[in-house]
């Protein structure tokens, strides 16, 4: 039963290729096979759509503008399909769960159609390559990615004393600076002040995006002089002081604690064992923020193997686990037309309260079980459980066998009884998928 | 609460309802004694409603000059303003003093005229100094946060559209009345047994099974929503929010504005009819939009994103039959940026005034917490 728990808590449930900690960790050190097998749109095609849009805008050609927007939305859908195909198809479920965790930690969403493909691009370029590396590398990649720079308004932040700032009478936008401290590193309770936010905002000036080129450092926007953040002065030319700062902040003990707490809450319990948090924080500090060491300690801690399932699977997690349990191959999703992808994934996700890549704010999705198991959210899960499987699997499996393969020893007595009492296979399979046992982890 | 379906489910299972260990806990939590007996409904009009075509300042010579082709027929209200004919079903409310308008009002949002940012600011209820992404919760949620002890049934976000105005740490319920529950009666009975082991799932499913029973109401989505809200207001709920989209009338506006106006009118009338006289008498409905539209019509018989907008206020607790707000005028020099209606009041100010009057909230709470940075200065009197 302990192995089943691990596969559910740290993966996408049963059946699972890897169920013991060593197997799960071994997969992390290998190459990212899933990203290769189910690729998302690349930077060139996203840049091409941008280019078309800008040309159309300059030419005031509404038809071409619309076409570029449609192309961008299609790229975003392609990226969404790849994301689900990887989660469903990969044998390295723990890696996929870590990707989802860090993508949420560094949440970005798009405010217009042209930016929609950027979130997925950031996951591919900044998150996936770094989930088993150093936190400092992940932080640098995420902070400087165009998706983040646009989402948190760094692209409109200009040093008021810089040449561009003086000429255009424009100034700072503190958004990225504030979230970098509050959400991405130290955490909201840590000892930093508004003056630190302000200084960091000045330090970050120069960092911006150029359509087609991605992130650039524009010295004409950079505030001149040194900035002092958390008591450390950063000075020098170009992007280097910013990179030094990111390296420093990644090594702060407050950052270690914040990341430790978030990992424990996301993977184990809304109210995590203090020893788990402390152990993770110490590991973060001692290993220099090495995320694979952190993963190893997380999986080995006794709290990770407790049998009580204290978390609710978030809707994305629920859909992936459901499709995997039903034996739906990743190609079904990867090659789905827009309409069936919507029917199987995106429309139900929104009804369950988690519209894809559309978290309300940079703090990402809520963790608490009560935020997900609401009347509306549960009704949508029940409806999906009762309706979607029969569309995808013909014939449906025997519900009793399905219960065994999806939950193993975790099925409660009442669930086992109810599944055998169901009058149709549709009801039986639906009851398994709608059960608390299946919706918890 | 209608337990019909729930009991039917248990009956199908063949077990005795009285013996069910959790049956007595299946009730929606008590509503709010903290908020008293009045009700507030906020309708977010997504897409930027053209206030000038809905409440037409026909007494201003600038209107026909700027809108030679884009102006719907209207019915005179007070000799200066006329009401768009698509809202003529609301004339009885105007005559009964249950309908008011605030013209030339807006949030502090200026210049970029993005729907997304404008709606974020409208629902966050903060000033323009905070960038939208930094705003974590909506103003109705902050109201709930400030009132310890409000019941979980107090506030509802209704419909499929996410309602940031009610999003945040305080518990607000949400439901889309068109959410179906694709489950047979026997399967539902089995699920009830399965959920009985897990209080979180049990409570959520009991409410879901209960609410899904409302599905057989006839009508369009907006009727379902208004009807659902009215039923909650008759019960222990005091606050509800939902949205009506479709106001982004860049082209052929006279035709394209009909549908959202029809939905708005239906929503108000349905709320009145289904709330019942007593509840309607204690209710205020505020319909607000992210910003107004350009004064001058554009080249495709529509209007573009503007600044000053208009708010519709209805309900038995409204001092109606009146248009509130200072009228700035439509001559070029009076416009914002020489193109948009100049806002003469802050939309949050009117909402704060309504909450003060309805719920007895003090100014410090409204200016400090619900709408941080707001200075309440609108002329009082909108609420009875």
- Selecting from B117, B174, B201 the residue whose C-beta is nearest the C-beta of A378 gives B201
Is the predicted pLDDT of residue A174 greater than 50, yes or no? yes
Integer Cα distance of A59 and A53 in angstroms:
10
Work out the pLDDT band at B112, boundaries 50, 70, 90.
Answer: confident
What mean pLDDT value characterizes chain A?
95
| Residue A178 touches chain B, beta carbons under 8 Å | yes
Q: What is the pLDDT of residue B111?
A: 85
Residue among A173, A362, A376 minimizing CB distance to B175:
A376
What is each CA distance from B58 to A323, B83, B249, B288, in whole angstroms? 60, 10, 20, 22
Split at pLDDT 50, 70, 90, the class of A128 is very high
Q: How many whole angstroms separate alpha carbon A90 and alpha carbon B29?
A: 43
pLDDT-derived band at B152, boundaries 50, 70, 90: confident
pLDDT at B23 over 80: no
DSSP B93-145: HHHTT-EEEEEEEE-S--SS--HHHHHHHHHH---TTS-GGG--S-HHHHHHH
List beta partners, residue B156: B173, B240
Q: Is A31 exposed, middle or buried (0-12, 13-18, 19+ CB in 10 A)?
A: exposed
Backbone angles phi, psi at B293, to 5 degrees: -125, 170
Report the pLDDT averaged over residues A95-111.
96
Q: Compute the average pLDDT of residues A382-402.
A: 95
- Decide if B195 touches A, using CB distance below 8 A: yes
Please tell me the predicted confidence (pLDDT) of residue A361: 85
Give the pLDDT band of residue B210 (cuts 50, 70, 90).
Answer: confident
Distance (Å) from the C-alpha of residue A333 to the closest C-alpha of chain B? Answer: 23
Cβ–Cβ below 8 Å for A375 and B175: yes
State the pLDDT at residue A268. 97
Amino acid B212: pLDDT: 78
Residue B140 has pLDDT above 80, yes or no: yes
What average pLDDT does this structure show over B150-175? 87
In this structure, CATH architecture of domain B37-177+220-370 = 3-Layer(aba) Sandwich (3.40)
Are B186 and A418 spatial neighbours (Cβ–Cβ below 8 Å)?
Answer: no
pLDDT at B131: 52
Q: Report the pLDDT averaged over residues A222-229.
A: 97
Q: pLDDT tens, B336-364?
A: 999 999 999 999 999 999 999 999 999 99
Evaluated on CA atoms B75, B77, B78, B81, the torsion sign reads negative
pLDDT of residue A270: 94
User: C-alpha angle A139/A141/A144, rounded to 5°?
Assistant: 100
Residue B29: which pLDDT band, with cuts at 50, 70 and 90? Answer: very low
**Worst-scoring range by mean pLDDT, A81-90, A121-130, A148-157?**
A148-157
Contact, B343 vs B308, CB < 8 A? yes
Tell if the CB–CB gap between A111 and B114 is shorter than 8 Å: yes
Rounded distance between C-alpha atoms, residue A392 and residue A269, angstroms: 33
pLDDT at B279 > cutoff 80: yes
Low-confidence winner among A188-202, A262-276, B12-26, B32-46 (lowest mean pLDDT): B12-26
Report the percentage of chain A scoring pLDDT > 70: 100
Neighbours of A194 (CB within 10 A): 9
* Chain B contact probe: residue of A379, A399, A421 with most B CBs at under 10 A: A379
Distance from CA of B119 to the nearest CA of A (A): 12
Helix (H) or strand (E) holding A86: helix A62-89
Residue B128 with chain A: CB contacts under 8 Å = none
- B27 CB within 8 Å of a chain A CB: no
Does A410 have pLDDT greater than 70? yes
Residue A362 contacts B, CB cutoff 8 Å: yes
Looking at residue A170, what DSSP letter applies?
Answer: -
Is B182 at the interface with chain A, CB within 8 A?
Answer: yes
pLDDT in the model for residue B138 = 93
Predicted confidence at residue B312, as pLDDT, reads 98
Write out pLDDT tens, residues B166-188: 988 888 888 888 787 888 889 99
Tens digits of per-residue pLDDT, A302-333?
999 998 999 999 999 999 999 999 999 999 99
A to B CB pairs, distance under 8 Å:
122
Alpha helices, DSSP H only, in B213-257? 221-234, 253-256
For chain B, which residues make up each domain, given as ranges? 1-30+191-216, 37-177+220-370
Q: Looking at the predicted complex, does its ipTM rise above 0.95?
A: no
Query: What percent of chain B has pLDDT above 70?
Result: 88
Residue B4 has pLDDT above 60, yes or no: no
Q: Is the peptide bond before A329 cis (omega within 30 degrees of 0)?
A: no
Q: Do A380 and B194 touch (CB under 8 A)?
A: no
pLDDT, average across residues A124-133: 98
Query: Within chain A, how many helices (H) and strands (E) appear?
Result: 26, 4
Residues 6+ apart with CB under 8 A from B217: B177, B223, B224, B227
Beta bridge partners of B157: B174, B241
Within 13 Å and on the Cβ side, how many CA atoms surround A122? 32
Cβ atoms of B238 and B35 within 8 Å: the answer is: yes
Is residue A240 pLDDT above 60, yes or no?
A: yes
**pLDDT bracket for residue B134 (50, 70, 90):** low
């Amino acid at each position: 039963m302990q192995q089943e728990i691990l596969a559910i808590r740290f993966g996408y449930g049963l059946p699972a290729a890897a169920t013991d900690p060593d197997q799960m960790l071994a997969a992390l050190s290998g190459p990212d096979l899933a990203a290769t097998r189910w690729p998302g749109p690349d930077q060139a095609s996203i840049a091409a759509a941008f280019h078309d849009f800008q040309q159309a805008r300059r030419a005031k050609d509404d038809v071409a503008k619309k076409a570029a927007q449609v192309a961008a939305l299609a790229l975003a859908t392609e990226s969404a399909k790849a994301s689900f195909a990887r989660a469903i198809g990969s044998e390295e479920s723990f890696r996929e769960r870590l990707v989802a965790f860090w993508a949420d930690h560094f949440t970005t969403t798009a405010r217009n159609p042209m930016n929609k493909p950027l979130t997925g691009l950031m996951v591919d370029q900044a998150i996936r390559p770094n989930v088993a590396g150093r936190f400092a590398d992940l932080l640098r990649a995420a902070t400087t990615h165009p998706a983040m720079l646009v989402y948190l308004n760094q692209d409109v932040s200009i040093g008021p004393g810089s040449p561009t700032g003086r000429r255009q009478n424009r100034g700072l936008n503190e958004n990225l600076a504030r979230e970098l401290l509050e959400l991405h590193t130290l955490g909201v309770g840590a000892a930093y002040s508004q003056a630190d936010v302000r200084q960091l905002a000045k330090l970050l000036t120069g960092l911006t995006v150029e359509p087609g080129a991605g992130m650039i450092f524009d010295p004409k926007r950079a505030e001149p002089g040194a900035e002092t953040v958390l008591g450390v002065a950063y000075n020098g030319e170009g992007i280097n002081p910013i990179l030094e700062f990111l390296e420093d902040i990644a090594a702060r003990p407050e950052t270690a604690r914040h990341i430790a707490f978030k990992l424990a809450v996301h993977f184990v319990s809304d109210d995590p064992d203090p020893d788990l948090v402390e152990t993770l924080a110490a590991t973060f500090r001692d290993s220099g923020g090495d995320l694979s060491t952190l993963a190893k300690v997380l999986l080995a801690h006794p709290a990770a193997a407790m049998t009580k399932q204290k978390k609710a699977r978030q809707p994305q997690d629920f859909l992936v686990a459901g499709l995997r349990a039903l034996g739906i191959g990743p190609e079904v999703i990867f090659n789905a037309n827009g309409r069936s992808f919507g029917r199987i994934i995106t429309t139900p996700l929104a009804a369950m309260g988690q519209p894809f890549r559309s978290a309300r704010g940079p703090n990402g999705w809520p963790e608490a079980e009560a935020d997900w198991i609401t009347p509306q959210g549960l009704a949508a899960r029940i409806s999906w459980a009762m309706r979607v499987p029969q569309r995808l699997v013909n014939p449906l499996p025997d519900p009793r066998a399905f219960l065994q393969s999806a939950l193993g020893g975790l099925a409660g007595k009442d669930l086992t009884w109810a599944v055998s009492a169901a009058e149709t296979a549709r009801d039986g399979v639906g009851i398994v998928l709608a059960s608390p046992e299946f919706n918890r982890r | 609460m209608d337990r019909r379906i729930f009991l039917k489910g248990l009956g199908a299972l063949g077990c005795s309802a009285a013996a069910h260990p959790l049956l007595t806990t299946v009730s929606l939590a008590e509503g709010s004694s903290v908020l008293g007996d009045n009700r507030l409904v906020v309708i977010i009009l997504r897409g930027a409603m053209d206030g000038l075509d809905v409440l037409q300042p026909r007494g201003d010579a600038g209107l026909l000059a700027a809108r030679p082709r884009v102006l719907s027929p209207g019915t005179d209200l007070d000799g200066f303003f006329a009401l768009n004919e698509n809202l003529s079903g609301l004339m009885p409310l105007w005559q009964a003093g249950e309908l008011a308008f605030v013209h030339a009002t807006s949030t502090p949002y200026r210049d970029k005229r993005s729907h997304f940012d404008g709606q974020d600011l409208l629902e966050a209820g903060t000033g323009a100094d905070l960038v939208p992404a930094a705003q974590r919760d909506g103003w109705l949620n902050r109201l709930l946060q400030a009132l310890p002890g409000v019941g979980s049934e107090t506030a509802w976000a209704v419909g499929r559209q996410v309602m940031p105005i009610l999003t945040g740490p305080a518990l607000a319920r949400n439901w889309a009345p068109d959410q179906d529950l694709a489950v047979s009666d026997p399967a539902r009975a089995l699920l009830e047994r399965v959920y009985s082991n897990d209080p979180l799932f049990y409570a959520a499913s009991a409410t879901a099974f209960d609410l899904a029973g409302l599905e057989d109401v006839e009508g369009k989505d907006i009727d379902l929503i208004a009807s659902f809200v009215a039923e909650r207001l008759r019960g222990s709920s005091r606050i509800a929010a939902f949205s009506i989209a479709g106001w982004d009338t860049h082209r052929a506006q006279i035709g394209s504005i009909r549908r959202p106006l029809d939905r708005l009118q239906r929503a108000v009338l349905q709320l009145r009819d289904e709330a019942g006289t007593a509840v309607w008498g204690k209710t205020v409905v505020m319909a607000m939009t992210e910003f107004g539209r350009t004064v001058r019509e554009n080249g495709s018989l529509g209007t573009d994103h503007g600044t000053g907008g208009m708010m519709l206020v209805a309900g038995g607790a409204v001092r109606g039959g009146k248009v509130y707000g200072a009228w700035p005028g439509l001559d070029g020099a009076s416009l914002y940026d020489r193109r948009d209606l100049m806002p003469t009041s802050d939309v949050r100010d009117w909402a704060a005034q309504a909450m003060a009057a309805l719920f007895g909230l003090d100014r410090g709470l409204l200016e400090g917490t619900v709408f941080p940075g707001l200075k309440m200065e609108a002329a009082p009197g909108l609420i009875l």
